[in-house]
Amino acid sequence: MSKYLKVSLIISTYNWPEALALCLKSVEKQSILPVEVIIADDGSRAATKEMIESFQTHFPVPIIHIWQPDEGFQLSKIRNKAIAASSGEYIVQIDGDLILHPQFIRDHINFCKKDSFVTGSRVMLGKKLSHELLISQSIKVNIFNNDISNRTNGIRNPILRNILAERYRINDLYFMRGCNMAFWRTDLVMVNGYNEEFIGWGREDNEIAVRLMNLGFKKRVIKFGAVVFHLHHTVNVRTGLNINDQLLKDAVSSRSVYCPKGLNQYL
């Protein structure tokens, strides 16, 4: 795929400006930059806005800050608002607690194919290493550090990446990483983006994948490429997961391809 593909990078965040600052530093160091960065902010306090404004003064591409009031965990809604604000033809979606490998955007561009969407993996950083990186505001991660549990996810290997692309867990509906996914924008419009009936943590990324696959798009998995390093944090409260699980099951059983409450509200 051409390196001139217009990529919009959407970064979701909530009240962790120190981590988001590391994420933005790693975006600055990309070998190929996105055309824009859109911060999907689910109700952060003023410190996040101030930090983003400090980056906007010198960042090499536009940073667009999309904010909504804090009314509980509403990731689907803020992602839809960010997608609607995007201008790129290809959407790469991450979370704001990630440090990106310098070839992250390049790998996604080289990997993308029409009529498909992508889910990736992540390297999990331990509590000690994460604290050190946050204190120093360093984005240099050594995958051989003792405080990394799954270092093999940090290996970049184009040959293995391409071999596994359409083999590795492609039919596993529960293998989705909303913190590292990519879509053609037109495909997201066709399924009406994220389903805003999902409130609270979990399954919104699985459900959008179900609708895309029901419409005929193929899930592809990017392993050994598009590497992200996930900063350690306490696990999100999972209140409402049973309801979200049922919404996912309903999408599977009904072979849903479109959600009524979605992206079209903002287009």
Is pLDDT at 68 greater than 80 in this prediction? yes
Is pLDDT at 148 greater than 70 in this prediction? yes
For tokens 């989705």, what's the residue? 176
What is the CB neighbour count within 10 angstroms for residue 215? 15
Q: What does the DSSP assignment read for 34-83? A: -SEEEEEESS--HHHHHHHHHHHTT-SS-EEEEE---SS--HHHHHHHHH
What is the CB neighbour count within 10 angstroms for residue 185? 19
The domain spans of the chain are: 7-265
- pLDDT digit string, tens, across residues 192-234: 999 999 998 878 999 999 999 999 999 999 999 999 999 998 8
Percent of the chain with pLDDT over 90: 86
The C-alpha R_g of the chain, in whole angstroms, comes to 17
CA angle 242, 245, 249 (to 5 degrees): 140
In words, the CATH class of domain 7-265 is alpha beta
Termini Cα distance of the chain: 27
**Low-confidence winner among 97-106, 122-131, 230-239 (lowest mean pLDDT):** 230-239
What is the CB neighbour count within 10 angstroms for residue 61? 16
Q: How far is CA 152 from the centre of its chain?
A: 20
pLDDT at 2: 59
Is pLDDT at 241 greater than 90 in this prediction? no
Integer Cα distance of 187 and 209 in angstroms: 11
